[in-house]
């Protein structure tokens, strides 16, 4: 990979969470925690709610405590710079520790990405025992978890120009994910990362993760942006065949095919920009959906499962209707390759999520598909459905029968991630 591209990737790592999101300011929302945290609502008794989008902050000693002696001085570590905790690899700044707007006293910070230091945020952001307590209070049985910083993302690690060190960092993260899963009593399931810059190591690490019992992989929709062949290339075929054969899902968590940071007006304040960017990140999943549908990959791998995470659901009917139209207008030459229609591809392969929405789950659930929609909170990020997750669930799903509620809140996630309950 060219040095310029590697430098761009490193810069993206440092900007993973904008420094402006940690500046003094924001507004604290006082939370009546006692009334908002009474566990599972009685009407949902018998359902093990799976929250399919949450984030575990990488603990400051995650890498140094697990690395072999020869790597302890090389793996990521945390430094406090101008009052903000940041990840470093050597002397290279790899960005902040990610988002946690739930304060240690359970109140919520608005208008910012996180508190600047780890100890100011809720300890459940990075500690399993405290996380399980928060889940119980929210009435959540299990969580699917994603990283909370840029330091473990393969694209960022490629900029180190040290493949062996980058691979070790990935493996330490995945080992820790397996530890969290066991420590939580099979309630917290962190998605694995992969060294996708090396085909042989990609396949070897994917097999190791599957054998360890990890429940899915998180990938970028457009790996060619970091100098790796696109999913159209046979570079990916053995890995995708492995996922197809084992039922291990791919997750695209806001790693969609567009960069919404390029879509906002100049002159906006931080909060204005983030409001639009967050919305467009979700809608950007329409491009991810379309890429896979027109690629022919889903015909080559008929059992592949794909989670569109932190996606929302209200945009799905329009996007698929648009693709249905384009299949007629633009793709007749591909009729031998694309053997199904967009709605069928969606039903067979895709899962989307909702959290804050009301129109989607109330009015569009049966259109999108009761077997293809899952629930999330995005805890503990800025847009998280906190507090009041149970109240929201009862509101938006209250008009459906118990079987439908159980599918959306539990069964669909259990099927996608092969969960052990």
Q: What is the mean pLDDT of each run of 10 residues along the chain (421 residues)?
A: 50 61 91 94 98 97 96 96 94 93 97 95 97 98 95 89 96 98 98 97 98 97 92 98 98 76 90 91 93 97 97 97 98 94 98 98 98 98 95 98 98 98 96
CA dihedral 125→126→130→135, nearest 10 degrees, is 50
Closest C-alpha among 379, 240, 274, 230 to residue 18:
274
Return left, alpha or beta for 212; rule: phi > 0 is left, psi -120 to 50 is alpha, else beta: alpha
Q: 85 near 78, Cβ under 8 Å? A: yes
- The pLDDT score that the predictor gives to residue 8 is 53
- The pLDDT score that the predictor gives to residue 386 is 95
Burial call 280-306: b when 16+ CB within 10 Å, e when fewer: bbbbbbbebbbbbbbbebbeebeebbb
Provide the pairing of β-strand 108-110 with 217-218: unpaired
Element holding 169 (H helix, E strand): helix 163-183
Closest C-alpha among 196, 60, 57, 158 to residue 113:
57
* DSSP state letter for 334: G
Based on C-alpha coordinates, what's the Rg of the chain? 21
DSSP codes, 397-418: HTTS-HHHHHIIIIIHHHHHHT
Q: How far is CA 138 from CA 42, 49, 151, 158, in A?
A: 13, 10, 29, 38
Closest C-alpha among 199, 204, 216, 168 to residue 63:
168
Domains delineated in the chain: 48-77+124-417 (3.20.20.140)
* DSSP state letter for 59: P
- The pLDDT score that the predictor gives to residue 256 is 56
- The pLDDT score that the predictor gives to residue 418 is 98
- The pLDDT score that the predictor gives to residue 259 is 77
DSSP codes, 82-94: TTEEEEEETTEEE
* Cα–Cα distance, 203 to 245 (Å, whole number): 14
Q: 281 near 260, Cβ under 8 Å? A: yes
Count Cα atoms within 13 angstroms, Cβ side, for 133.
Answer: 11
- The pLDDT score that the predictor gives to residue 307 is 98
Closest C-alpha among 187, 203, 207 to residue 195:
203
């Amino acid at each position: 990979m060219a040095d310029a591209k590697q430098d761009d990737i490193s810069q993206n790592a440092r900007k993973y969470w904008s420094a402006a999101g940690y500046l003094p300011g924001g507004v604290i929302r006082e939370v009546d925690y006692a009334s908002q945290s009474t566990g599972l609502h009685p009407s949902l008794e018998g359902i093990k709610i799976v929250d399919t989008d949450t984030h575990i902050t990488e603990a400051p000693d995650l890498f140094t405590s697990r690395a072999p002696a020869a790597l302890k001085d090389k793996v990521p570590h945390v430094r406090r710079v101008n009052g903000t905790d940041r990840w470093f690899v050597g002397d290279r700044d790899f960005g902040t520790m990610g988002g946690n707007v739930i304060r240690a006293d359970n109140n919520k910070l608005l208008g910012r990405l996180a508190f600047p230091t780890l100890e100011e945020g809720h300890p459940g952001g990075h500690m399993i025992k405290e996380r399980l307590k928060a889940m119980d209070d929210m009435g959540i049985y299990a969580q699917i978890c994603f990283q909370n910083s840029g330091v473990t993302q393969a694209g960022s690690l490629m900029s180190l120009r040290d493949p062996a060190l980058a691979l070790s960092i990935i493996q330490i993260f995945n080992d820790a994910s397996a530890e969290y899963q066991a420590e939580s009593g099979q309630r917290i399931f962190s998605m694995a990362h992969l060294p996708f810059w090396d085909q042989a190591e990609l396949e070897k690490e994917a097999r190791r993760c599957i054998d360890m019992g990890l429940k899915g992989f998180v990938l970028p929709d457009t790996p060619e942006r970091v100098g790796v062949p696109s999913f159209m290339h046979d570079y990916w075929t053995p890995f995708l065949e492995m996922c197809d054969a084992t039922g291990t899902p791919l997750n695209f968590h806001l790693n969609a095919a567009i960069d919404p940071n390029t879509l906002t007006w100049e002159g906006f304040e931080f909060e204005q920009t983030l409001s639009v960017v967050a919305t467009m990140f979700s809608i950007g999943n329409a491009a991810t959906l379309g890429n896979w549908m027109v690629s022919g990959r889903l015909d080559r791998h008929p059992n592949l499962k794909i989670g569109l995470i932190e996606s929302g659901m209200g945009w799905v009917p329009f996007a698929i209707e648009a693709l249905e139209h384009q299949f007629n207008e633009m793709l007749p030459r591909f009729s031998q390759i694309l053997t199904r229609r967009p709605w069928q591809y969606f039903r067979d392969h895709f899962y989307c999520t909702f959290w804050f929405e009301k129109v989607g789950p109330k009015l569009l659930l049966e259109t999108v598909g009761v077997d293809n929609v899952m629930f999330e909170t995005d805890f503990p990020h800025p847009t998280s459905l906190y507090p009041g997750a149970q109240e929201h669930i009862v509101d938006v799903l209250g008009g459906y029968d118990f079987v439908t509620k159980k599918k959306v809140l539990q069964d669909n996630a259990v099927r996608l991630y092969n969960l052990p309950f």
